[in-house]
Amino acid sequence: MTPVVKVENLAARYGKNIVFEGVSFDVFEGEIFAIVGGNGCGKTTIFKCMTGLLKPSGGRILVRGIDPATEDREELKTLRKGTGVLFQSGALFGSMTLYDNMALVLKEYTALPSPVIDMIIRTKLGMVRLAGCENLLPSELSGGMKKRAGIARAMVMDPVVLFLDEPSAGLDPITSGEFDILIKNVNTGMGTTMIIITHQLESIFNVAHRVIMLDKQAKGIIAEGDPRELRKHSKDPRVKAFFGGGIPRYPAKLEQPNPDKLIADSKKQKA
């Protein structure tokens, strides 16, 4: 089976700072694939490489057979038509209504007449429970509504693959749970392949078929597989800690450093 997204030996850096190297994974049709890991391990950086915003420093990515870093305009257009993206920050245009935010995409990539565009926008907003909100500005929406609007916009072209960077961050647990249901419904109803970056364990167990875990120190992938299996069977303490394998998330008591001991240790090291 040809993967929808193929990542081979990928490396990324900002100046001298190598974020990761040797990262390889495949995402197959219809999968919900999660990318997890602590702050700063490079999740958004991979996301930027996969959506063509950042050129990798090594390796390559193919999304539906096309390199997102290509400079071939026709290939890029084909790729963008079939790809939906929800950025970490949401990124709706603040001066435009929800309707105009969504119409912009349809007008750029299709020659559909206005009544059809109208129908598509209303259907997509209905799908994320924002029916009747088309004339609101992003500033008039709550955080949860903004996220749902972002999904509706990402879905407006019925993409083959949907990239979501922390879709449920900042949502209350109930809204976040509803969001997971929405993601699952889109995945099963439309067969959309999804790549989701998330910190939310519940979300991972609720929706993800497979997951990779990145690590800042390792500068790459430290675990890959079914999140339930990783929780049960991984022996790696970093993976166990993340997936809740019994290590307390917060130490019971925060140890205060002993300044006298620190000075003595440093003198010993110098000697």
Ligand X SMILES: Nc1ncnc2c1ncn2[C@@H]1O[C@H](COP(=O)(O)OP(=O)(O)OP(=O)(O)O)[C@@H](O)[C@H]1O
**Is 217 an interacting residue with respect to ligand X (CB under 6 A)?**
no
| Cα-to-chain-centroid distance, residue 269 | 44
- Does 83 bind ligand X (CB under 6 A)? Our answer is no
CB of 89 to Mg ion, least distance (A): 10
Q: Which does 40 bind (CB under 5 to 8 A by kind): Mg ion, ligand X, none?
A: ligand X
3-state SS track over the chain = CCCCEEEEEEEEEECCEEEEEEEEEEECCCCEEEEECCCCCCHHHHHHHHCCCCCCCEEEEEECCECCCCCCHHHHHHHHHCEEEECCCCCCCCCCCHHHHHHHHHHHHCCCCHHHHHHHHHHHHHHCCCCCCCCCCHHHCCHHHHHHHHHHHHCCCCCCEEEEECCCCCCCHHHHHHHHHHHHHHHHHHCCEEEEECCCHHHHHHHCCEEEEEECCCCEEEEEECHHHHHHHCCCHHHHHHHCCCCCCCCCCCCCCCHHHHHHHHHHHHC
Q: Is 10 in the site for ligand X (CB under 6 A)?
A: no
Tokens of 76: 């890029």
Contacting range for ligand X; rule: CB under 6 A; set: 36-44, 121-129, 145-153, 201-209: 36-44
From 40-48, 140-148, 201-209, 251-259, span contacting ligand X (CB under 6 A): 40-48
User: Is 192 among the residues that bind Mg ion (CB under 5 A)?
Assistant: no
* Number of amino acids touching ligand X (CB under 6 A): 11
User: Is residue 200 at the binding interface for ligand X, with CB under 6 A as the rule?
Assistant: no
Strands 210-215 and 32-36: parallel
Tokens linked to 165: 């960077």
198 interacts with Mg ion by CB under 5 A: no
Would you give the distance in Å from CA 206 to the centre of its chain?
15
93 binds, among Mg ion, ligand X, none (CB under 5 to 8 A by kind): none
User: If contact means CB under 5 to 8 A according to the sort of partner, which of Mg ion, ligand X, none does residue 170 touch?
Assistant: none
Q: Minimum distance from CB of 37 to ligand X (Å)?
A: 6
Judged by CB under 6 A, does residue 44 bind ligand X? Answer: yes
- Say whether residue 43 binds ligand X (CB under 6 A): yes
Q: Is 203 in the site for ligand X (CB under 6 A)?
A: no
44 vs 200, beta carbon nearer Mg ion:
44
What residues pair up with 196 in beta bridges, in sequence order? 34, 164
Position among 14, 181, 233, 237 found at the interface with ligand X (CB under 6 A): 14
CB of 15 to ligand X, least distance (A): 7
Nearer to Mg ion by Cβ, of 27 and 35: the residue is: 35
Q: Is 187 in the site for Mg ion (CB under 5 A)?
A: no
Which x/- pattern over 35-74 shows residues binding Mg ion (rule: CB under 5 A)?
--------xx------------------------------
* Cα gap 47→123, rounded to integer Å: 28
| Residue ranges binding Mg ion (CB under 5 A) | 43-44
| Residue ranges binding ligand X (CB under 6 A) | 14, 17, 19, 37, 39-45
